[in-house]
């Protein structure tokens, strides 16, 4: 079985645990999903973490009262299983933020999400602006090698080049209760590929949700199918424990 009581489970949020929504604040998390995550966390002796691009302040209300180990903002902010939060140095986002805000002021369909260490320019409501948004943000960071552009789902993000989901998962895997387990990472986006590479380098497996090229060894169709699989697995783990 792919997921056993000896696994470490890393889960992306948007498009993986939660269906994509028109806006970040429109995402719905069901009680059923929260209960399932709590049950899995117990079965894995705590070795379950969220690995998300979202800011901590943004996602915690969505998953309350769950309080999981988590990597936020693509790994720039990380709360370990022992509750210690570390935060990478915040890059200089001023010029990129000014460009994103100027674009959003000109086009009503754009949304700027300013996080602690990163920023996202969303164009889900104005898909025809993808090329313009991407070119503008790319130009805005061109002279700063410390910054990296991430192209996600209907979003272009600017983050520190020295953080990432792969590094965050590796950091968890060096600590209890993750250390010594076989890691699984489930994600849906190109931004999750470094996470897949890391877990597979450590002998585990990546699981890609949905379509698209990936290095992940496994695939699952959509967030509902993932939830069903996790739920069935939780039942099996209970029966065999
Ligand atoms: O790493 P993730 O947990 O997958 O987070 C990636 C980004 O997700 C959010 O944006 C995406 O989801 C929104 C809600 O479904 C959707 O409206 C948007 O188009 C998607 O790009 C979030 O807002 C970003 O901060 C995350 O980095």
Which ipTM score applies to this complex? 0.98
What was the pLDDT predicted at 188?
A: 98
Q: What is the pTM of this model?
A: 0.97
What was the pLDDT predicted at 241?
A: 65
Candidate of 111, 152, 210 to mutate for ligand 1, largest count of ligand atoms within 8 Å of Cβ: 152
Lining ligand 1 with CB less than 6 A are: 12-15, 20-24, 27, 52-54, 113, 120, 122, 124, 152-155, 157, 189
Q: What value, to the nearest 5°, has the Cα angle with vertex 123 and ends 142 and 165? A: 60
| Nearest CA owner, ligand 1 atom 10 | 24
| Nearest CA owner, ligand 1 atom 20 | 153
Give the Å distance between the CA of 156 and the centre of ligand 1.
10
pLDDT in tens, the chain (241 residues): 689 999 999 999 999 999 999 999 999 999 999 999 999 999 999 999 999 999 999 999 999 999 999 999 999 999 999 999 999 999 999 999 999 999 999 999 999 999 999 999 999 999 999 999 999 999 999 999 999 999 999 999 999 999 999 999 999 999 999 999 999 999 999 999 999 999 999 999 999 999 999 999 999 999 999 999 999 999 988 777 6
For 99-151, give the secondary structure using H, E and C: HHHHHHHHCCCCEEEECCCCEEEECCCCHHHHHHHHHHHHHHHCCCCCEEEEE
| Nearest CA owner, ligand 1 atom 5 | 53
What was the pLDDT predicted at 237?
A: 81
In the chain, where the domains are located: 7-88+163-240, 94-160
Superfamily of domain 94-160: Trehalose-6-phosphate phosphatase related protein; domain 2 (3.30.70.1020)
CA-192 nearest atom, ligand 1: 1
State the Cα–Cα distance between residues 142 and 125, nearest whole angstrom: 26
Catalytically active residues, by annotation? 12
Superfamily of domain 7-88+163-240: HAD superfamily/HAD-like (3.40.50.1000)
What was the pLDDT predicted at 90?
A: 92
What was the pLDDT predicted at 239?
A: 72
Contact 195, 173 (CB under 8 A): no
What was the pLDDT predicted at 15?
A: 98
CA-154 nearest atom, ligand 1: 19
CA-124 nearest atom, ligand 1: 19
What was the pLDDT predicted at 33?
A: 98
């Amino acid at each position: 079985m792919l997921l056993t009581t000896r696994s470490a489970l890393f889960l992306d949020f948007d498009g993986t645990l939660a269906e994509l929504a028109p806006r970040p604040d429109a995402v719905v998390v069901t009680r059923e999903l929260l209960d399932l995550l709590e049950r899995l966390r117990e079965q894995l002796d705590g070795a379950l973490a969220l690995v998300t691009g979202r800011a901590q302040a943004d996602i915690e209300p969505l998953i309350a009262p769950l309080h999981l180990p988590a990597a936020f903002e693509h790994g720039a902010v990380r709360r370990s299983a022992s509750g210690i939060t570390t935060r990478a140095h915040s890059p200089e986002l001023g010029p990129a933020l000014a460009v994103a805000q100027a674009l959003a002021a000109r086009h009503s369909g754009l949304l700027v999400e300013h996080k602690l260490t990163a920023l996202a320019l969303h164009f889900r409501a104005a898909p025809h602006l993808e090329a313009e948004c991407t070119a503008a943000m790319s130009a805005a960071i061109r002279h700063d090698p410390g910054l990296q552009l991430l192209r996600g789902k209907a979003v272009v993000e600017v983050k520190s080049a020295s953080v990432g989901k792969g590094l965050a998962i590796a950091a968890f895997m060096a600590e209890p209760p993750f250390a010594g387990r076989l890691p699984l990472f489930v994600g849906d986006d190109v931004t999750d590929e470094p996470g897949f590479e890391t877990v597979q380098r450590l002998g585990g497996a990546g699981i890609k949700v949905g379509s698209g090229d990936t290095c992940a060894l496994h695939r699952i169709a959509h967030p509902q199918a993932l939830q069903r699989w996790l739920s069935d697995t939780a039942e099996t783990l209970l029966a065999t424990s």
